Amino acid sequence: MKLAFGADHAGFELKQHLIQTARSMGHEVLDFGAHSLESVDYADFAEPAARAVVRGEADLGVVICSNGVGISITANKVVGARCALCHTSWAAARARQHTDANMLALGGLETGSAIADEILAAFLSPGNDFQGGRHERRLEKLREVERRGIGAVEGERTEASLLAEPVGVRP
């Protein structure tokens, strides 16, 4: 399996560790950075990792920042990315089985390497692939929300209209 990794400076060390773990499990790795402990912004690494997954250049993705929140929010802004912030191997398995998560987010300053190894193994386990069935209905509803876009309710600004406006006009 090919995995896309991305992390900011706070997730750098755990990313490096998990890349070695993934390789030892026989997986191929795409490393979108960061490549050092120098302070950087998580969005610069979450987006290319998420795009690689959505485009099919990677099967799954792993993104890491200090607590996993910012980088998971950023990854989830990429249409088609379903990034789950997980703190346990059970949550990682459930994210794959029930929501067909295609990305895993972790907190590099709050998750130890041994626990992170367990979470990654659960996320990648073929036994935890998407179960379909009743979960497919829920996943389709998620896709419907995604298609409508943020704020696409009548009378509200849509995400596309906000992006088209000059920066100074945004509320």
Give the CATH number of the domain where residue 65 resides: 3.40.1400.10
Q: Tell me if residue 86 is catalytic.
A: no
Instruction: Answer yes or no: do 142 and 124 share one domain.
Output: no
Single-letter code of the amino acid located at 49: A
Looking at the fold, whether 75 and 113 belong to one and the same domain comes out as yes
Candidates 27, 35, 87, 98; catalytic one: 98
Q: Residue 75 corresponds to which tokens in the numbers above?
A: 């990854």
Q: Looking at the 3D structure of the chain, how many domains does it have?
A: 2
Q: Which residue range(s) make up the domain with 8?
A: 2-128
The whole-angstrom separation of Cα 37 and Cα 73 is 22
Beta strand 83-85 with 60-65 is unpaired
Same domain flag for 71 and 15? yes
Mark whether 124 and 143 lie in a shared domain.
Answer: no
pTM: 0.84
Angle (deg, nearest 10), helices 113-124 and 12-24: 50
- Active-site hit among 17, 65, 83, 86: 65
Q: What is the pLDDT of residues 3-53, one digit of tens each?
A: 999 999 999 999 999 999 999 999 999 999 999 999 999 999 999 999 999
98 among known catalytic residues = yes
119/141 same-domain check: no
CA distances from 54 to 4, 48, 76, 90, 154 (A): 11, 10, 11, 24, 29
